[in-house]
């Protein structure tokens, strides 16, 4: 988190434009840029007290999110479904049956998912499985105390995992973090 990561950040005034909401499964048709997102660099400030968001081609900080104002990260249902499918596929390959096809019902376990997939434009379950498997966009948000939430799309699983786990750790050890930061200032 101390190193710069590149993510897509949703523009705050985008909701008034009434365009297509971003769906990771339809990213080949509607990429994040078309749905009101822009590439930004994001990193934890070296003082460990805020997250800085910068425009990639401009100098200066576009937005600063104090750690004190963060309530929790939010992972939407579609991202959790994508991760579940990808995990199930990886597990099946490790169990010695890489050539065996996995049915969508094995992954989701019920028929109510068919309606969800149809709503998302997936009519053929095998094509749907392929969309989940090849998806490389992972949506998440940071819920804030006063200003609502900031929405992001990570373009890789490693960036997504780094930020979700990092924010959870920062929140879990928030009190100890500020004590540590104070001790580090005393040493300097």
The pLDDT tens digits for 42-70 are 998 877 788 899 988 888 888 888 888 89
107-117: average pLDDT: 51
pLDDT number for residue 110: 45
Measured N-to-C along each axis, helices 174-187 and 157-172 cross at an angle, to the nearest 10 degrees, of: 80
| CB contact at 8 A, 61 and 54 | yes
What are the φ/ψ torsions at residue 34 (nearest 5 degrees)?
-75, -25
Position 111 confidence tier, pLDDT thresholds 50, 70, 90: very low
Instruction: Pull the structure tokens for residue 87.
Output: 């995990």
Give residue 18's pLDDT band: very low, low, confident or very high (50, 70, 90). Answer: low
User: What is the residue whose two structure tokens read 């822009």?
Assistant: 38
* Average pLDDT across the chain, whole number: 78
CA distance 42 to 53: 5
State pTM to two decimals: 0.76
Give residue 185's pLDDT band: very low, low, confident or very high (50, 70, 90): low
Please state, as a whole number, how many other Cβ atoms lie within 10 Å of the Cβ of residue 85: 20
Comparison of pLDDT for 53 and 179, the residue scoring more = 53
pLDDT at 67: 87
What pLDDT shows up at residue 93?
Answer: 59
Scan for tokens 């990429």, then name that residue: 31
Would you say 102 and 25 are in contact if contact means Cβ atoms under 8 Å apart? no
CATH 3.90.1010.10 for the 5-76+137-187 domain, yes or no: no
pLDDT band at 29 (very low <50, low <70, confident <90, very high): confident
């Amino acid at each position: 988190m101390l190193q710069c990561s590149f993510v897509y950040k949703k523009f705050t005034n985008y909701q008034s434009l009434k365009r297509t909401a971003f769906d990771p499964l339809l990213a080949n048709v509607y990429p994040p840029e078309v749905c009101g997102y822009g590439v930004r660099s994001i990193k934890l400030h070296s003082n460990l007290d805020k997250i800085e968001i910068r425009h990639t081609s401009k100098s200066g900080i576009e937005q600063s999110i104090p750690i004190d104002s963060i309530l929790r990260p939010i992972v939407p249902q579609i991202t959790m479904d994508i991760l579940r499918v990808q995990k199930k596929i990886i597990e099946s390959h490790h169990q010695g049956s890489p050539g065996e096809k996995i049915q969508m019902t094995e992954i989701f376990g019920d028929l109510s998912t068919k309606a969800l997939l149809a709503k998302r434009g997936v009519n053929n379950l095998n094509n749907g499985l392929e969309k989940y498997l090849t998806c490389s966009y992972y949506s998440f948000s940071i819920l804030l105390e006063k200003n609502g939430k900031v929405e992001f799309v990570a373009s890789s699983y490693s960036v997504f995992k780094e930020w979700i786990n990092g924010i959870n750790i920062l929140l879990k050890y928030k009190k100890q973090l500020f004590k540590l930061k104070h001790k580090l200032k005393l040493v300097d």
